[in-house]
């Protein structure tokens, strides 16, 4: 399948890496020759230097026989123009544009056909939604929702004094007293798919599948904080802060944004009338203290500098803030960060890429394609959601009599509103939602069978 990526920034780079590894034919278009050369060095792709929103460049990039155009340049307007032009040259092409400016939200939604858009992504908005989700259940490092938010895979860290320390997985259900499944354990930079006899150790990061309605119960039984978040400090006043503050304020949570640019502060104050906007440098510890950091329930580091965010989060964790969330723009190797107590890590470009890759996989396999794909365990494993359709093999057969590939784990089956952590006698029926965790690339549900 031929894909054109227009505009190579952080997201373009990540997409090029992932999609070329998955075997798609990529053409990258950018107006900066240096960036293109570094892409050619890194990935097996073709590049084209030029303005991606012009007809000759798009034609030269082969838009007429491409199936998908992903416009992720840094300007929303160029992305839109690029998609419109491509759609004009090839009416059958799928187009994805990144639109970040909140002011465009309404017209993008209403005019998506006029723009020729199949999908639009907003990394900052996605990140804000993710963070708001985490703040709803403080204690989990990561939450991935599946099956219309009925099932979750959550990440927990096993500390030395945790109730989970030294527990073997077969005894786990006696402690948490609810139906959960540990699907992946991240230990010493490797992802392990544990069996019943596996014993948890400190420093392990575990990924747990659980129905959404038992999450609060799970936190309580594990002795992890259960206090509802009522006051949050956001360090940095960028787009993510705006979306997040808007979302949290509506949920009745007090928000304080610390931003060092005066003009941006005025802007934010106008857009978020109920939020508390403070002019100041969030990296200064005295500043954070004077703003009452020790009394807040959560700190979210959202400045434009990854290093700064890490430092702010380290400081917040040191102060004993129950929930710390760190935004990282680059996050090339989250592995080295997993040892640092910087709380949950949220990476906008990763969220945006996951959405796009899910879409690509879906148009690649029309039937039986993954409904959603989430990378877990620092990208070493993937949790994939499928719906069982008529083409699925082995329907209505107990799992114990199906041969399933190695390193593929069925973690959840959701039948019409009822979710089940499967055992050997479970089976799936047409119309069910199945969640699979694996370290392979799965295109369709049928790929899991031997």
Parallel, antiparallel, or unpaired: how do β-strands 408-415 and 418-420 relate?
Answer: antiparallel
Q: Give the nearest distance from C-beta 85 to other proteins in angstroms.
A: 20
What is the token pair recorded at 321? 């803030």
Residues 6+ apart with CB under 8 A from 280: 258, 259, 260, 287, 291
Closer residue to other proteins in complex, CB, 25/201: 25
Give the DSSP H or E segment for 346. strand 344-346
| Strand-pair partners of 68 | 3, 94
Alpha-helical (H) ranges within 114-160 are 123-136
Q: Give the nearest distance from C-beta 437 to other proteins in angstroms.
A: 21
**CA nearest 194: which of 379, 437, 446, 441?**
437
Count of positions on this chain that bind other proteins (CB under 8 A): 15
How many whole angstroms separate alpha carbon 127 and alpha carbon 131? 6
Q: Read out DSSP for 425-447? A: T----TT-EEEEEESS--SBGGG
In angstroms, what CA-CA distances link 124 with 24, 40, 243, 439? 27, 28, 8, 28
Q: Give the nearest distance from C-beta 344 to other proteins in angstroms.
A: 30
Closer residue to other proteins in complex, CB, 21/114: 21
Residues 6+ apart with CB under 8 A from 311: 283
Closer residue to other proteins in complex, CB, 25/129: 25
Q: Give the nearest distance from C-beta 26 to other proteins in angstroms.
A: 5
Q: Is 64 helix (H, G, I), strand (E, B) or coil?
A: helix
Closer residue to other proteins in complex, CB, 25/203: 25
Q: Is 125 helix (H, G, I), strand (E, B) or coil?
A: helix
Residues 29 to 68 in contact with other proteins, rule: CB under 8 A: 37, 40-46
Q: Give the nearest distance from C-beta 16 to other proteins in angstroms.
A: 10
**164 lies in the binding site for other proteins (CB under 8 A):** no
Q: Give the nearest distance from C-beta 159 to other proteins in angstroms.
A: 33
**CA nearest 310: which of 260, 258, 236, 256?**
236
Closer residue to other proteins in complex, CB, 47/133: 47
222 Cα distance to chain centroid: 25
Closer residue to other proteins in complex, CB, 1/404: 1
Closer residue to other proteins in complex, CB, 145/375: 375
- Cα-Cα-Cα-Cα torsion 329, 332, 338, 340, nearest 10 degrees, comes to -60
How many whole angstroms separate alpha carbon 231 and alpha carbon 85? 46
Q: Give the nearest distance from C-beta 64 to other proteins in angstroms.
A: 12
Q: Give the nearest distance from C-beta 140 to other proteins in angstroms.
A: 33
Residue span 2-31 as binding mask against other proteins, x where in contact by CB under 8 A, dash where not: x-----------------xx-x-xxx----
Specify the residue for token string 């907003």: 122
Q: Give the nearest distance from C-beta 2 to other proteins in angstroms.
A: 8
Closer residue to other proteins in complex, CB, 5/232: 5
Interface residues with other proteins (CB under 8 A) are 2, 20-21, 23, 25-27, 37, 40-46
């Amino acid at each position: 399948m031929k894909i054109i990526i227009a505009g190579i920034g952080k997201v373009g780079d990540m997409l090029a890496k992932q999609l070329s590894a998955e075997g798609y034919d990529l053409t990258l278009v950018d107006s900066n020759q240096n960036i293109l050369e570094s892409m050619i060095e890194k990935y097996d792709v073709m590049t084209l230097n030029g303005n991606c929103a012009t007809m000759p460049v798009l034609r030269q990039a082969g838009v007429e026989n491409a199936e998908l155009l992903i416009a992720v340049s840094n300007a929303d307007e160029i992305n839109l123009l690029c998609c419109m032009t491509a759609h004009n040259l090839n009416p059958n092409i799928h187009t994805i544009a990144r639109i970040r400016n909140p002011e465009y939200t309404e017209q993008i939604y209403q005019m998506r056909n006029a723009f020729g858009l199949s999908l639009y992504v907003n990394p900052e908005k996605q990140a804000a939604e993710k963070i708001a989700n985490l703040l709803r259940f403080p204690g989990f490092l990561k939450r991935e929702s599946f099956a219309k938010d009925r099932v979750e895979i959550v990440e927990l860290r096993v500390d030395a004094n945790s109730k989970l320390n030294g527990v073997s997985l077969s005894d786990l259900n006696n402690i948490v007293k609810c139906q959960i499944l540990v699907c992946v354990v991240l230990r010493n930079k490797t992802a392990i798919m544990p069996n019943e006899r596996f014993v948890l150790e400190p420093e392990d990061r575990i990924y747990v599948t659980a129905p959404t309605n038992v999450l609060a119960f799970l936190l309580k039984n594990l002795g992890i904080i259960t206090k509802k978040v009522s006051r949050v400090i956001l360090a940095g006043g960028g787009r993510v802060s705006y979306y997040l503050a808007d979302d949290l304020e509506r949920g009745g949570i007090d928000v304080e944004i610390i931003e060092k640019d005066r003009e941006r502060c005025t802007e934010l104050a106008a857009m978020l009338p109920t939020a508390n906007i403070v002019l100041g440098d969030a990296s200064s510890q005295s500043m954070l203290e004077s703003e009452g950091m020790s009394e807040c329930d959560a700190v979210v580091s959202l400045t434009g500098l990854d290093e700064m965010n890490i430092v702010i989060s380290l400081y917040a964790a040191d102060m004993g803030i129950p929930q710390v969330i760190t935004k990282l723009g680059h996050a090339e190797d989250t592995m080295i960060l997993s040892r640092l107590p910087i709380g949950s890590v949220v990476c906008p470009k990763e969220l945006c890429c996951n959405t796009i890759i899910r879409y690509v996989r879906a148009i690649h396999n029309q039937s039986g394609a993954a409904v959603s794909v989430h990378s877990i365990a620092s990208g070493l494993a993937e949790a994939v959601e499928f719906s069982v359709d008529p083409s699925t093999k082995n329907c209505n057969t107990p799992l114990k009599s199906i041969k399933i590939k190695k390193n593929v784990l069925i973690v959840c089956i959701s039948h019409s509103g009822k979710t089940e952590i499967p055992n050997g006698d479970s089976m799936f029926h047409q119309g069910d939602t199945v969640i699979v965790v694996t370290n392979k690339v799965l295109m369709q549900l049928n790929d899991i069978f031997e």
